[in-house]
Amino acid sequence: MIRFFEATLDHGLKVIAEVSTEAKSAAMGYFVKTGARDETKEESGVSHFLEHMVFKGPEEMDAYAVNLAFDRMGARYNAFTSDENTVYYGAVLPELLPDLLELFTKLMRPALRQEDFEMERKVILEEIALYEDRPEFVAYQRAREHYFRNHPLANRVLGTRESIEKMTRERMAAYHARRYVPGNMVLAFAGKLDWERVLDQAARLTERWKPGSAGRDYPPFAPTPARVAEPYPRARQTYLVGLYPGFSARDPRRYLAAVLASVLGDAGSSRLHWALVDKGLVESAGAGHEEHDELGTFGVYATTRPENRARVAEIVAEELARLDREPPTEEEIARAKTKAKTQIVFAGETPMKRLFHLGLSYAYTGRYEPLSEVLRKLEAVRREDLAAYLAERPFEKGVFFELVPGEG
């Protein structure tokens, strides 16, 4: 049996839980509505940097004590930062959930010690260097910068070497005070737990938090069609990335985008697979849809040898154009639905995996979307829905980016 609960504490923190009496574990997470798009130029990379600093501990704990506390619980835990969210999560045996909640709540108010700050700055700079050695990451990052241009979604999650080197502990503390406020956070639980107990504990642990909310800028955006090629000295292959208008996290059409992405670019069997991968023209190719706050992007990608660059780009363009002439067949749609539903069901089989959809979906929409509803909406996608989207010619409104070997 699965039941959903939600409440808003006096200072504004939203608390939600999907309780399953059949689960064998319990998961929880703090979902903070803040990421790269919420940073100023001077703050570039601060959200991700702060994520690292949180695990250095609050005033009464150092990093070793934090690590030891997680270890004593046998917790599986981590965190991630994206363009729009910073998420801290963990899973434990049900009887240890109160301990996990207490620890994560303490971490939400980190000490931000200067010595930890300087040490972690080096870690972030090493991480930036690591990703600079991954041309596929650089290609996607640069494609986004060309697509979003001056929009905040063009901001880099890691920041730049310059912004991290100039970052100060005081600037980070000000950002934390501005963004990590109750009204800008969701505390989510999934699995086997006592709702009343965790709600009471959350209220008690956060009772000293000051009320507050944080805004987000939503500047108007319309993509400018372009084809761009840039050299990159660390590239040995050619990386192709196309980004086009998609649907936001609140738009019900995001389900048809998921189906279309599967038809076009599923790794095992799709139009791009048979046109490119099966013919040995590329190392990899695919498509996907990314939902943002008020925006969305539909993307395609391919990695190929430099000598195949022109031919692969031509085939990708042909396949995108063919979608308009030959919309997905009923058979293609049925296969895509089954694959999507299978992935969703697999992802919902454990409280830890279910937590991500639960928390992020609620953070974006403010409502609960049970697994059964997601499956129903996927099943409801019709061929005419896809045709209506394709009739808008979205693939004529994006950016096609190529990262090629060479000195830049």
For residues 103 and 71, give the distance between their C-alpha atoms in angstroms, rounded to a whole number. Answer: 12
Q: What is the pLDDT of residue 267?
A: 87
pTM assigned to the model: 0.96
DSSP tag of 90:
E
Assign domain 226-405 to its CATH architecture. Answer: 2-Layer Sandwich (3.30)
**2-205: what fold?**
Cytochrome Bc1 Complex; Chain A, domain 1 (3.30.830)
pLDDT tens sequence across 352-388: 999 999 999 999 999 999 999 999 999 999 999 999 9
* Residues forming a β-bridge with 226: 399
Answer yes or no: is pLDDT of 143 > 80: yes
Cβ–Cβ under 8 Å, residues 286 and 381: no
Per-residue pLDDT band for 52 (boundaries 50, 70, 90) equals very high
- Which tens digit of pLDDT belongs to each residue from 203-260? 999 999 999 999 999 999 999 999 999 999 999 999 999 999 999 999 999 999 999 9
Segments making up each domain of the chain, as ranges: 2-205, 226-405
State how far the Cα of 13 lies from the Cα of 186, in Å rounded to an integer.
6
The Cβ of residue 50 has, within 10 Å, a number of other Cβ atoms equal to 24
- Amino acid making up residue 299: G
State how far the Cα of 291 lies from the Cα of 366, in Å rounded to an integer.
15
